[in-house]
Amino acid sequence: MRAFIAIELPEEIKRHLAKLEEQLKETGADVKWVHPENIHLTLKFLGEIDEEKAQTITGIMEAVTKENPAFTINISSLGAFPKIEYPRVIWVGVDKGDKEAKEIAHNLEERIEKLGIPKEERLFQSHITLGRVRSPANRGGLVQKLRELTAAVTEKSMEFPVAGITLFKSTLQPTGPVYEALKTASLKAT
């Protein structure tokens, strides 16, 4: 199965982000948008794993969450990788909760590497992907809209509690991926 570990977002936050996507879609840019129900914060992409490895990974998740307390995330920025002028991945970033998410991602990365799943080459950055740019069509309009909406995202409080991390199975369909939560490990109560 194709799998990843992520922080689930509350429905209210997904609705806010879906509205943001709708405003960005108005540019007509060639972007593969993440379906609102699939929006999440990825901590570790695992790739193809079998049932046995999934069991071991859930054990690692439980160990990591026992060491890390529940925390709060605040979505505070809108941007693009590699940079806003040349967007490839459109995302929202976090300020509050960034340190905690990085710590959990690092702990998972270190322990999961021992299972033969390689570490990410890029440094982990707490972000929530909204879309991936497929071509330069209407890029100018997209860049302009990203800049316009940055202030709106910064001013709006999109804060939510994080009580656990979830192992997801991803099934690729012609209409896009379908995610199924397999196991959630609860963070330490504060």
Q: Above 90 in pLDDT, residue 24?
A: yes
Of the chain, the percentage scoring pLDDT greater than 70 comes to 100
Residue 151 pLDDT: 80
Residue 122 pLDDT: 85
Between 152 and 171, where is the model more confident? 171
- Give the structural domain span for 9: 2-186
Residue 153 pLDDT: 83
Q: Above 80 in pLDDT, residue 100?
A: yes
- 163 burial (CB, 10 Å; 0-12 / 13-18 / 19+) is middle
Q: Above 80 in pLDDT, residue 4?
A: yes
Q: Above 90 in pLDDT, residue 154?
A: no
Q: pLDDT (tens digit, 9 = 90+) per residue, 125-141?
A: 999 999 999 999 999 99
Which residues are known to be catalytic?
Answer: 40, 127
What is the tally of structural domains in the chain? 1
3-class SS string, the chain: CEEEEEEECCHHHHHHHHHHHHHHHCCCCCEEECCHHHCEEEEEEEEECCHHHHHHHHHHHHHHHHHCECEEEEEEEEEEEEECCEEEEEEEEECCCHHHHHHHHHHHHHHHHCCCCCCCCCCCCCEEEEEEECCCCCHHHHHHHHHHHHHHHHHCCEEEEECEEEEEEEEEECCEEEEEEEEEEECECC
Q: Which residues make Cβ contacts (< 8 Å) with residue 186, sequence separation at least 6?
A: 65, 70, 163, 164
Q: Above 90 in pLDDT, residue 30?
A: yes
Q: Above 80 in pLDDT, residue 90?
A: yes
Q: Which of 47-51, 71-75, 80-84, 186-190 has the lowest mean pLDDT?
A: 186-190
What CATH number corresponds to the domain at position 44?
A: 3.90.1140.10
Residue 143 pLDDT: 95
